[in-house]
């Protein structure tokens, strides 16, 4: 990948709202080129979309997030894909990954309360054909997400003026 | 008087007074700091924690841990192409500050002169005086991009001149020396048999082109004391860990002083530095990329405001000219702090030739720099209005033109605000 493209992507990954003019200044290229680069990245799907990292806890939102380990019997021809599709179709499901190790699908579910999530797992997930077992872990606290440490940032401990 | 004449003769640091004012104020955006905003990379901190858990709490060899000297030798060879023997040519010091003090004390006899290109770091002249030497400041200016002029150096050489003390990339100007400049400096040192003390603490923070170490030039290894360390590139200022490399006789002399005064650098810091050498470079390079982005962003911002500055090629400082405001460096820094709560350091803190400039550090997040630029813009616009009010009855800015000289045109680019 071309160096400018990588640098633009790195800056946007840190702060997706950095104005193209500022990115241009930071990289020493003109704004128009930055805009072109961004459009190109969007077109090529290097940039999937722009999202916001929200600290929902701070907003007083008390919805819950759960990580569910799902064991599945794979089937001929389709493997795990059909079961995965059955799972990711539900709007309650935020993420689905196929993983190696003690279970197969790692599913993230969001719901208004512990009970809602538990009921969703019991009624919708556990009952899907070839799902053999589920283990639910409720999220208690987020420390770091997408490379971003969510606990209060460390203050600037430097003296205000030093030689 | 109970204090020695030498100590008494040295004026208090210009930065100190400024610091006292800043620390009393709230909501200050400071661009006054000479250290990274990054915390030491975690893998380096973790290595230090582990060394403490393992009970590494003793003195080390006066020279520093041999394995650290070996890693430093590899680092110097890898990054700057200079070869040093870890056993006899590298000394681990408590910051470059200590290395500088040792170097001067190791080579100066009373009354020996040291040529010091200015603007420069605040400690050079005082350290030369403490060592019994005579600092000879050599002014440089924006006209040469704050690169020291060899002719000026040469003209200042006397039979008492022992050494030249250089610092490129430079604090406070961000200037670097090109290979051609260095070659001419090396030729001068050889012609006049001078030692070069080369403080290369900002070497890794070189953005345009490669850093050329003084010691890498033909014939210079034997007359160069190379000082470098971990503070800036690895964000390790508070650890106080650095090194000196040079020919065996000079390094041995420095070690003699070091063993009686400092004994050795802290073992925890040495263990941390070891990790920095071995595995720290990828994270260092990441930090350097960010400084580079901030540098371009900040320089463009300042130039857009009419505060003319050259693009600094190294370190993390911009040294804009503030002449277009008609203020002196001190006035500018103080008024900017009082009116807009932005802290910068007057250029005169780094020598008389810093007049007309202020040092702004860009070891801050882009958001902080953006806010600082907004405030500086308000400040400069306010100044311009004052200047205009002072010229009532004349055509706009005419008298101010006379007052501020030709650079006045830059101020005219700043939109006046009421």
Q: Please tell me the pTM assigned to this model.
A: 0.86
- Nearest-CA distance B13 → chain A (Å): 9
**Residue B412, pLDDT score:** 35
Does residue A156 fall inside a structural domain?
Answer: no
Q: B339 is written with which tokens? A: 């009116």
pLDDT of A150 higher than 50: yes
**A161–B30: do the CB atoms touch at under 8 Å?**
yes
Q: B358 is written with which tokens? A: 């202020």
**B22–A28: do the CB atoms touch at under 8 Å?**
no
**B297–A160: do the CB atoms touch at under 8 Å?**
no
Does residue A127 fall inside a structural domain?
Answer: yes
**Using CB atoms, which residue from B33, B297, B370 is nearest to A161?**
B33
**Residue B415, pLDDT score:** 35
B322 close to B335: Cβ distance less than 8 angstroms: no
- What mean pLDDT do residues A29-46 have? 96
Say yes or no: A25 and A101 in one domain. no
- What mean pLDDT do residues A24-35 have? 95
Say yes or no: A66 and A20 in one domain. no
Q: Look up the CATH number of the domain holding residue A16.
A: 1.10.10
In angstroms, rounded to a whole number, what is the distance separating the alpha carbons of residues B359 and B417?
Answer: 26
**Residue B390, pLDDT score:** 62
Say yes or no: A137 and A72 in one domain. yes
Say yes or no: A137 and A68 in one domain. yes
**Residue B416, pLDDT score:** 33
Q: What is the mean pLDDT of each run of 10 residues along chain B (418 residues)?
A: 92 79 89 94 96 97 98 97 98 98 98 98 96 97 93 97 98 95 97 98 95 97 98 97 98 98 98 98 96 96 91 96 93 94 95 96 95 96 76 43 38 34
Say yes or no: A38 and A88 in one domain. no
- The span from the first CA to the last CA of chain B, in angstroms, equals 55
Does residue A31 fall inside a structural domain?
Answer: yes
**Residue A149, pLDDT score:** 80
**Using CB atoms, which residue from A25, A161, A162 is nearest to B296?**
A25
**A156–B34: do the CB atoms touch at under 8 Å?**
no
**Residue B334, pLDDT score:** 92
Check residue A70 and report its DSSP letter: E
- Is pLDDT larger for residue A160 or for residue B120? B120
Say yes or no: A33 and A91 in one domain. no
**Using CB atoms, which residue from A10, A25, A161 is nearest to B300?**
A25
- Is pLDDT larger for residue A147 or for residue B177? B177
How many domains, in total, are found in chain A? 2
- Nearest-CA distance A117 → chain B (Å): 37
Q: Using one digit for the tens of pLDDT, what is the confidence trace for A56-105?
A: 778 888 899 999 999 999 999 999 999 999 999 999 999 999 999 999 99
Say yes or no: A25 and A69 in one domain. no
Say yes or no: A61 and A26 in one domain. no
* Enclosing domain of residue A113: 56-141
Say yes or no: A27 and A95 in one domain. no
**A161–B300: do the CB atoms touch at under 8 Å?**
no
- Nearest-CA distance B53 → chain A (Å): 24
**DSSP state string for A109-153:** EEESSHHHHHHHIIIIITTSTTEEEEEEEE-----EETTEE-SPP
In the A/B pair of chains, how many CB contacts fall below 8 A?
Answer: 61
| Cβ-based burial of B156 (10 A; exposed 0-12, middle 13-18, buried ≥19) | middle
Say yes or no: A83 and A9 in one domain. no
Say yes or no: A30 and A63 in one domain. no
**Using CB atoms, which residue from A11, A26, A160 is nearest to B30?**
A160
Q: Which among B361, B362, B366 is the top mutation candidate for probing chain A, defined by the most A β-carbons within 10 Å of its own β-carbon?
A: B366
User: Looking at chain B, which residue has its C-alpha nearest residue A8?
Assistant: B293
- Nearest-CA distance A38 → chain B (Å): 17
User: Looking at chain A, which residue has its C-alpha nearest residue B18?
Assistant: A161
Does residue A153 fall inside a structural domain?
Answer: no
Does residue A50 fall inside a structural domain?
Answer: no
Structural domains in chain B, sorted by start: 5-38+283-412 (3.90.1150.10), 42-280 (3.40.640.10)
Q: How confident is the model at residue A162 (pLDDT cuts 50, 70, 90)?
A: confident
**B19–A159: do the CB atoms touch at under 8 Å?**
yes
**Residue A56, pLDDT score:** 78
**Residue B391, pLDDT score:** 53
Does residue A155 fall inside a structural domain?
Answer: no
pLDDT of A154 higher than 80: no
Closest C-alpha to B369, from A22, A153, A150, A148: A22
Does residue A106 fall inside a structural domain?
Answer: yes
**Residue B393, pLDDT score:** 42
Say yes or no: A68 and A131 in one domain. yes
Instruction: Give the B window 152-211 contacts with A, CB below 8 Å.
Output: 171
**Residue B210, pLDDT score:** 93
B122 chain-A contacts, CB cut-off 8 A: 163
Under 8 Å CB-to-CB from B389, ≥6 apart: which residues? none
**Residue B13, pLDDT score:** 77
- What mean pLDDT do residues A49-54 have? 88
Q: Give yes or no for B235 touching A (CB within 8 A).
A: no
Q: Look up the CATH number of the domain holding residue A98.
A: 3.30.70.920
- Nearest-CA distance A157 → chain B (Å): 9
- Nearest-CA distance A158 → chain B (Å): 7
Does residue A37 fall inside a structural domain?
Answer: yes
Return phi, psi of residue A106, to 5°: -105, 115
């Amino acid at each position: 990948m071309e160096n400018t493209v990588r640098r633009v992507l790195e800056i946007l990954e840190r702060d997706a709202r950095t104005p193209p003019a500022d990115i241009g200044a930071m990289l020493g290229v003109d704004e128009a080129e930055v805009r072109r680069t961004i459009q190109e990245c969007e077109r090529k799907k290097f940039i999937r979309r722009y999202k916001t990292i929200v600290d929902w806890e701070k907003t007083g939102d008390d919805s819950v997030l759960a990580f569910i380990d799902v064991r599945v019997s794979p089937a001929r021809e389709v493997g795990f894909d059909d079961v995965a599709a059955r799972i990711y179709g539900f709007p309650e499901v935020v993420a689905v990954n196929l993983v190696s190790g003690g279970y197969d699908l790692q599913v993230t579910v969001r719901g208004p309360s512990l009970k809602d999530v538990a009921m969703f797992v019991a009624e919708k997930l556990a009952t899907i054909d070839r799902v053999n077992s589920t283990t639910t872990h409720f999220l208690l606290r987020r420390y770091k997400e997408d490379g971003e440490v969510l606990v209060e940032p460390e203050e600037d401990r430097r003296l205000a003026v030093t030689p | 008087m109970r204090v020695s004449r030498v100590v008494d003769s040295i004026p208090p640091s210009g930065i100190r007074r400024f610091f006292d004012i800043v620390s009393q104020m709230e909501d200050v955006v400071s661009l006054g700091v000479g250290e990274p905003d990054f915390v030491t990379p975690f893998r380096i901190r973790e290595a230090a924690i582990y060394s403490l858990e393992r009970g590494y709490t003793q003195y080390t060899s006066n020279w520093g841990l041999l394995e650290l000297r070996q890693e430093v030798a590899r680092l110097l060879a890898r990054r700057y192409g200079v070869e040093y023997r870890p056993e006899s040519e590298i000394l681990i010091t408590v910051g470059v500050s200590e290395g500088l003090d040792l170097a001067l004390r190791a080579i100066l006899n009373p009354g020996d002169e040291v040529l010091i290109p200015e603007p420069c770091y605040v400690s050079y002249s005082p350290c030369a005086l403490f060592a019994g030497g005579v600092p000879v400041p050599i002014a440089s200016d924006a006209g040469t991009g704050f690169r020291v002029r060899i002719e000026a150096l040469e003209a200042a050489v006397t039979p008492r001149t022992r050494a030249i003390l250089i610092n490129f990339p430079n604090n406070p100007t961000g200037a670097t020396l090109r290979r051609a400049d260095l070659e001419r400096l090396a030729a001068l040192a050889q012609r006049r048999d001078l030692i070069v003390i080369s403080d290369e603490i900002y070497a890794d923070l070189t953005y345009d082109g490669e850093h050329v170490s003084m010691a890498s030039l033909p014939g210079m290894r034997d007359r160069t004391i190379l000082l470098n360390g971990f503070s800036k590139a690895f964000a390790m200022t508070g650890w106080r860990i650095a090194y000196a490399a040079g020919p065996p006789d000079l390094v041995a002399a420095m070690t003699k002083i070091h063993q009686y005064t400092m004994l050795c650098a802290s073992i925890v810091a040495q263990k941390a530095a070891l990790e920095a050498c071995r595995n720290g470079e990828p994270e260092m390079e990441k930090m350097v990329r960010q400084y580079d982005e901030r540098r371009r962003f900040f320089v463009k911002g300042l130039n857009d405001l009419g505060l003319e500055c050259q693009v600094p090629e190294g370190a993390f400082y911009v040294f804009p000219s503030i002449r277009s405001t008609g203020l002196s460096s001190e006035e500018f820094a103080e008024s900017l702090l009082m009116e807009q709560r932005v802290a910068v350091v007057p250029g005169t803190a780094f020598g008389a030739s810093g007049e007309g400039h202020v040092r702004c550090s860009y070891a801050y997040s882009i958001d902080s720099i953006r806010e600082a630029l907004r405030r500086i813009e308000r400040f400069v616009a306010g100044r311009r209005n004052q200047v205009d009010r002072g010229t009532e009855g004349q055509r706009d800015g005419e008298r101010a033109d006379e007052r501020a000289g030709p650079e006045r045109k830059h101020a005219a680019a700043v939109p006046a605000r009421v």
